[in-house]
Structure 1
Amino acid sequence: MAPRLPLPPIPPLAVPREVRRAVRLTLLTALTTLFGYGLFLFFGFLRDLFRRLLLDRAEPDELMGYAPICPAFEDFYTRRIYRRIQDCFGRPIASAPDAWIDVVERSSNDNNKTLHRTSNKSRCLNLGSYNYLGFAAGDEFCTPHVLHSLKKYAPSSCSARADGGTTQLHIELEDLIARFVGKPAAITFAMGYVTNSFIIPTLIGEGGLIISDSFNHNSIVSGSRASGATVQVFQHNSPSHLEAVLREQVVKGQPGTGHKPWRKIMVIVEGVYSMEGEFCKLPEIVAICKKYKAYIYLDEAHSIGAVGKSGRGVCELLGVDPADVDIMMGTFTKSFGSCGGYIAASEEIIQYLKYACPAHIYATSMSPPAVQQVISAIKVVLGEDRSNRGAKKLAKIRENSNFFRSELKKMGFVVLGDNDSPVMAIMLYNLAKLPAFSRACLRQNVAVVITAYPATPVLLARARICISASHSKEDLITGLKVIGEVGGLVGAKCLPAEPEKAKKLD
């Protein structure tokens, strides 16, 4: 959940039919969820009214003549809803994000308005980090190479790539990424979010059309808005609706120009949707984009390194030729245990980005040790460390993910996400269930991530589970026992369970 981002208006009750079907959203669930939000809003507005009438009759002198610095509803939502459960978010940890982590305990003396870190720590099972292949903790191959690069290159280049921030490591990484994903060339950036939000405006602008999946990440939304291009949205993971939108826009052309053709059309999708754990229907989308001469921009932040037989992402998993995807984007923050992002494309596009993208020209380049971490991790995945540990990690994450997902479903949870995806969402729906679920899991030393509006639609609050290759079978069984118990206490099991399976877990 991102409470500091500008909050969009609360959407209407209507939820797309295919989404309702996938999440088992019934009318009773929708009404009780909205009723809960209504209570929060009503009493929140009532308390603000009495505060203005009784305590804040006069405007403070320091605000005289100034407009509020925060939007009114965002300020209200943060104070009256988010802060009530803020102890469930942003929990600091005091260890590497491995299978088990040390969570720093916090206390509050003012009804959760202010949190204070204590000196106490809880050793918790980590079901929230993106450490898909287990590289975020120490690794027998990666760590020595990273330490050597730290001594040779120092922690930072202190410069942008276009100035003096390009080392031999950056060049090696870009060549390796291009070879890994099957594209002619690649370019790297120091931050994954920036990769989307700066590349999209560099590639398309006024007179262009962006057609974006309705569940795309905020970085894609930010980049699309900043581009100046016209933005259209198609229903989540619906190739048929994508084709309908494309056909309509090709016929209409640019608005107010007498049907002048679009300068370019770009379709943007994600490989694995980070809040749902679903794979995009890439083969169908590629076929439609070829038919209408539209470019494809594929965000593989959560899929590169984590899915596919050799970790090469959804193209490998779904049998799509990388040559059919014009722009391949990914990050190093998930599977590879580092930071930054990349764009892989044709040599002409990459050369253009080096001269035109502000994130390359002005932003500080990736830290050399972080670059070395990615290089070493990819070499392990490819087996270039002279071992088969990479293949074992890929097999392990698929096995762990499918086992955990199937067991959750057998216990009666509504779970989103496709098989082989390391991301899965346990649907909780009701806002009041979120803190109850999170706090109860933490008391039993299981750390989970909960998320609700504005990061998800109002009616689709959930707990998001991220599985790692570093989890053992015993770790997963421990997590399943706790989640199963807590889910029963908060009423999160919406489907009939299989009692004989519970005996096996015991």
Structure 2
Amino acid sequence: MASQWVFEFLNEVPFYHVFLEVGLLMSVLWLIFHKSYNPKELAQLTDKEKELLIEEWTPEPLVGEVSLKHPAFRRRIINGKAEKYMNIDGNLCLNMATHNYLGFTGNKEIEDTAVTSLHKYGVGSCGPRGFYGTVDVHLVLEERLAQFMKMEEAVVYSYGFSTIASAIPAYAKRGDVIFVDENVNFAIQKGLDASRSKVKFFKHNDMEDLENLLMEQAELDVKNPRKAQVTRRFLVVEGIYMNSGDICPLPKLVELRKKYKLRIFIDENISFATLGEHGRGVTEYFNIPKEEIDMVMGSMEWSMSTIGGFCVGSTFVVEHQRLSGLGYCFSASLPPLLTAAAIKSLDIMENDPSMFKELQTRCHLVHKALSSLKSYELKGDLDSPVKHLYLQMQVKDSDKELDMLNKIADFCAENGVAVTTAAYLPVEKFKPRNSIRITVNNKLTEEEIQKVTSVLEKAADEIL
């Protein structure tokens, strides 16, 4: 039967078609088995020639040339905790460098809670949340964060950097459009890269430039309505920008969100637990209803003095990350002792909201004091706990300017004040001007603030 079927098939198919198919099959077989050269015909090197080639070969270095001015060569050794004061290379310094805004680093209650949790749960959770890494304290923390931020649900990540770097690509995909402030931090930059979406940067806090980009996109949507129906539009900003200390103009952003139908994500790494009457961030600061914001992302590594990050929003939005947030799905969950420390930090914040008003008072005092410096230009919002000092003198060579600022930071450390230069990776799109970054905590006294300004001025007189 089979042979009869083949015979009938060959009678029906044109002869030239069979000939062509057989020819193609033979060509493929020839390409597979044919060797482009005969190994036996290759010239064989003598032992002497081999030794000569080895002597002439120079291996390329694993690491390229690194400038001696690279931060890796400017190591400072800190002994003990980075509290209000810390020991740097043997010098006791007032800490104006780390992000201990509420002074929780070294807090006895938080430390005792972490130790108690350590005895109960052990050191680590040993797995991602979706497998066997979820402990009851993780669920408690998520519930507490959602309640604190007055959102429906929260999801906790084990690392602050991976929170927003995972959250953005969990929603924005290839073909989507993301409108982003040009001054966003490095974690957001990595999230944008991972999303593979079309990214449009607008000038820092420039709402007119943002609206121009939105109008351009609206015109493109009119020309291609079919594509517009499947194109999602996102707006990503920071509550307080790490690279400038400026607060985002949230009311105007919400207005544009409504007008152009955007999904807005806010990174509140700094503004969480620093802005607002109860520390709920930039939405409370501007009295913006939570329903206007699609998702808020924050870090627990600054004000709360622990590790990890979180996202809060509606249940519909947040639940999506439990299956698509790479940092959530594939990273070991937050160690229970650090989770318990975060819960205790929330307890302290809820029991004493006056600490946020105290922090704002210190921010104003520091801002006023730094504004009086003659050798520097102060940038950053009055209410922001992060401020940047730039040299008044214009230095065209960026490396030379950074070297001057590093020398100023070294002088300050030697004279009892810890400050740091803002560090940026050499990414072509993001080149903020070199600066000294100052952080504020709510335990500073007026005398200590005066000391900071005095040492900075002396450093300028000495270095510049």
For residue 262 of structure 1, report the CA deviation from its aligned partner: 4.9
CA distance change for structure 1 residues 367 and 280 in 2, over 3 Å: closer, same or farther? Answer: same
Residues 107-506 of structure 1 correspond to what in structure 2 (within 5 A)?
121-139=90-108, 141-253=109-221, 260-383=228-351, 388=352, 390-391=353-354, 393-412=355-374, 413-428=376-391, 430-451=401-422, 454=425, 460-491=433-464
> For the Cα contact (< 8 Å) 2:97–2:419, is it kept in 1?
yes
TM-score by length of 2: 0.81
For residue 271 of structure 1, report the CA deviation from its aligned partner: 0.3
For residue 360 of structure 1, report the CA deviation from its aligned partner: 1.9
For residue 443 of structure 1, report the CA deviation from its aligned partner: 1.6
Looking at CA atoms only, which structure, 1 or 2, has the larger radius of gyration?
Answer: 2
Residues of 2 paired with 1:255 and 1:181: CA distance? 41
For residue 477 of structure 1, report the CA deviation from its aligned partner: 2.3
Partner-residue secondary structure (3-state), 1:421 = coil
Residue correspondences, number: 399
> For the Cα contact (< 8 Å) 2:283–2:290, is it kept in 1?
yes
Partner-residue secondary structure (3-state), 1:329 = strand
State the Cα deviation string for residues 359-382 of structure 1 (Å, max 9, x = none).
Answer: 222210001111111111111111
For residue 86 of structure 1, report the CA deviation from its aligned partner: 4.6
Residues of 1 paired with 2:222 and 2:131: CA distance? 39
State the Cα deviation string for residues 382-419 of structure 1 (Å, max 9, x = none).
Answer: 11xxxx3x42x222221111111101112323111111
> For the Cα contact (< 8 Å) 1:204–1:229, is it kept in 2?
yes
Residues of 2 paired with 1:330 and 1:185: CA distance? 14
Partner-residue secondary structure (3-state), 2:105 = coil
TM-score by length of 1: 0.74
Runs of at least 5 residues in structure 1 that lack an aligned partner in the other structure: 1-57, 106-120, 492-506
Runs of 4+ in 1 over 6 A off after TM superposition: 254-258
For residue 93 of structure 1, report the CA deviation from its aligned partner: 1.3
Question: What residue is the counterpart of 2:78 in the other structure?
Answer: 93
Partner-residue secondary structure (3-state), 1:414 = strand
Partner-residue secondary structure (3-state), 2:79 = coil
For residue 97 of structure 1, report the CA deviation from its aligned partner: 1.2
Letter in 1 for 2:381: D
Residues of 1 paired with 2:56 and 2:234: CA distance? 49
State the Cα deviation string for residues 329-366 of structure 1 (Å, max 9, x = none).
Answer: 00000000001100101101122211222222221000
Runs of at least 5 residues in structure 2 that lack an aligned partner in the other structure: 1-54, 396-400
Question: What residue is the counterpart of 2:13 in the other structure?
Answer: none
Q: Which has the higher helix share?
A: 2
State the Cα deviation string for residues 254-291 of structure 1 (Å, max 9, x = none).
Answer: 99998544521000000000121110001100110111
> For the Cα contact (< 8 Å) 1:130–1:466, is it kept in 2?
yes
Letter in 2 for 1:461: N
CA distance change for structure 1 residues 165 and 259 in 2, over 3 Å: closer, same or farther? Answer: closer
Residues of 2 paired with 1:229 and 1:145: CA distance? 43
Q: Percent identity?
A: 25
Partner-residue secondary structure (3-state), 2:131 = coil
Root-mean-square deviation (CA, aligned residues, Å) is 2.3
CA distance change for structure 1 residues 243 and 267 in 2, over 3 Å: closer, same or farther? Answer: same
CA distance change for structure 1 residues 313 and 442 in 2, over 3 Å: closer, same or farther? Answer: same
Residues of 1 paired with 2:422 and 2:225: CA distance? 43
CA distance change for structure 1 residues 238 and 459 in 2, over 3 Å: closer, same or farther? Answer: closer
